[in-house]
Amino acid sequence: MNLIIVESPTKARTLAKFLGNAYDVEATMGHIKDLPKSTLGVDIENDFAPEFVDVPKRADTIAKLIKLSKKAKTIYVASDPDREGEAIAQHVADILHADSKLKRVTFHEITKGAVTDAINNPHEIDKNLVDAQTARRVLDRLVGYKLSPLLWKKVRVGLSAGRVQSVVVRLVVEKEREIGKFKAEEYWEIYSKVKSRNSKVKDDFTVQLIKIGDKAAEVKNKDEADKILADLEKAEYKVADIKKRKVTKSPYPPFTTSTLSQAGSRVFGWSSKKTMSVAQKLYEEGFITYHRTDSLNLAKTAVDSVRSFIQKEYGDKYLPPSPRFFKTVSKVAQEAHEAIRPTDVNFKLGITGDKFAEENSKLYELIWARFVACQMNPSIFDETTIEVSAEYKVQSTKYLLRASGQIMIFDGWRRVLPIKKDAEEVVVTLPDVEKDEELDLIKTWGDQKFTQPPARYNEASLIKTLEKLGIGRPSTYAPTISTVQVRNYIEKNESKQFMPTSIGIAVNDFLIGNFPDTFEYQFTAHMENDLDDIANGKLKWVEPIKEFWSPFANKLKDVEKNSERVKIETEKLGRTCPNCDEARVAGDASRTGELVVRTGRFGKFISCSLFPTCKYTEKYLEKVGVICPECKKGEVIVKKTGKGRRFFGCSRYPDCKYASWRSPKKEEEK
């Protein structure tokens, strides 16, 4: 009997289906060794040697693996093909002590062909990848374990810091401050609706002012707008220019971890953690390739297969003469890895019901469509631009207005991947007019606008920014963003945009104020590059840690000795504390507490401003201004699940069990 060891039970079940009785497939249930929870676990004086210990809750699993390994003819360790997977493989080898019969196998899709090929071509454990994971783990432990007690002392008990997580909080805090400093400026857009004098041309069309004389139109206030509108009311209109061209729009590349997480947020409103969780299920059940990747590479067999599929399903006009290849943007992507794609392009329908949860099906169909689309012909549009001159001869003022429109004449890749409504181009059909043709004015008007502040980050834009800055890697985006929400450093508003909490702002300001180099964007990206260099064998794992530790340790001592305790900003509610009121009635004139909103480990709560002298607390209810649609007595409030996801419930719970993922306020607006 041969033994195959993987990380998860789902992956084990999928492998067992097609490997047969010659193999016993077992799961480690994740990491079986880790740094200890109760101590630092890093010997700083001995070249930062890590003290990896058996994970206590994996004791039964470890015992079972040791027992099975003694009977096995060959042991194949088939953990995931990345740093974490390689570390698991090394820890399995360390525990089993069976080097002579232990082999490492890797595959990027869980199919019979890929797994069989991997078993037939085993290799050694990649020590460079193991070292990269060790370096990351040691670095994160040094930062977190040393900074957390400092935060307890200088900010508040129970807080923690992370090397990458704190940089994510910094991004959100700085964005919020940028929004706070923003001052809206008024501007106006000017439009005219015109119609051809040619009776054969029936349709009117709308043009927008783009030039006044030879300068770009900038209309800053109502007075300026009224003057221009008065001129346009009396002006003579004619077609100044017509431009027609064919526009081709190429398909998007296949998904990487980053773009899949962004699409999950944009299309389904999912968190990156949920998108990755669903993708992991799809991978472990054999439906898609490995989902943690920043490569756009595609296997030749996969490209050949999808091209045959396109020709058969949609015909020759949808198939390019040659395959389309995409250049990987990430400098550190491993080209041996592939982009995320279905393992079998012919499997596209009938994946709902008991076997496939609805969310699994939705994500699979999106991955399938994106992959198929990337090898199809471009979509083609007829684009028309009409420029209209409007001249008010009394004042010799010339205005130029423009209208643009597109009509899709060939759908191409959009046959399988239609653009969603939230991203769809507005299709404007323009009439067939001729140059110098005179036009009649139907009406003219102005729209008052105001410049908008920078948008807050959502899941998609935050991941895109992290990727652009070089912070984090495919395996870290989702858990990093999830962690800072669980710690209540950032939270989502009703629009699913990230906002910092008061405690998040306090922690950020303390860390950035005292450790500017440690949490600087370029430094964090530099450390990620060092980890990549370790993985590629270009750097010894201990070198970047030595370089980091000495200045960091000195700074720690200085900050602990000389920094002031941080005061966390609180929101006053305009109510006096009930306990203090009672104390004053009893004769204690010093009890003048007010109720304030604080942020704790489990979210917001209300307490007395005189804490810890007065320990009065009550629940914080985030009201949305709507009466409960079910009981008609309570108010709808924002609540959170154990995993931090927002939902709406009744303030009279448990008497009223009303709950909804959707805001009743938005339902009413419909």
Please state, in angstroms and rounded to a whole number, the distance separating the CA atoms of residues 621 and 636: 9
Nearest to 327 by CA among 387, 374, 265, 360: 374
d(Cα 91, Cα 125) in Å, to the nearest integer?
Answer: 11
Of the chain, the end-to-end C-alpha distance in Å amounts to 63
SS3 635: strand
Exposed (0-12), middle (13-18) or buried (19+): which is 327, by Cβ within 10 Å?
exposed
- Indicate which residue of 290, 318, 457, 489 is catalytic: 290
Cβ-based neighbour number of residue 121 at 10 Å: 11
Handedness of CA 175, 176, 180, 184 (dihedral sign): positive
> Residue 42, Cβ neighbours under 10 Å: how many?
21
DSSP states along 418-456: PPPTTTPPPP-------TT-EEEEEEEEEEEEEPPPPPP
Clarify whether 620 is annotated catalytic: no
What is the rounded distance in angstroms from the CA atom of residue 359 to the CA atom of residue 366?
11
Please answer whether residues 462 and 482 qualify as being in contact, where contact means their C-beta atoms are separated by less than 8 angstroms: no
109 CB-contact burial (10 Å; exposed 0-12 / middle 13-18 / buried 19+) = buried
DSSP H helical ranges for 271-428: 272-284, 300-314, 358-373
171, 403 in Cβ contact below 8 A?
A: no
Cβ distance 603 to 646 under 8 Å? no
Burial class (CB in 10 A: 0-12, 13-18, 19+), 273: buried
Bridge partners of residue 608, in order along the sequence: 595
Residue 617 tokens read as: 């607390």
In whole angstroms, what is the distance from residue 226 CA to residue 445 CA?
A: 9
DSSP 8-state class, residue 337 = S
Output the six-digit token pair for 354.
């008991």
* Residue 425 contacts residue 159 (beta carbons within 8 Å): no
Rounded Cα distance between 167 and 149, Å, is: 19
Question: Hey, what are 666's tokens?
Answer: 């938005």
Please tell me the distance from the alpha carbon of residue 477 to that of residue 464, in angstroms, as a whole number. Answer: 10
Sequence length of the chain is: 670
Whose CA is closest to 49, among 136, 147, 138, 128? Answer: 138
Q: What is the DSSP letter of 568?
A: P
Query: Under the phi-then-psi rule, with left for phi > 0, alpha for psi from -120 to 50, and beta for the rest, what region is 396?
Result: left
Which stretches within 155-215 are classed as H helix?
165-181
Phi/psi of residue 101, nearest 5 degrees: -120, 10
Which positions are catalytic?
A: 290
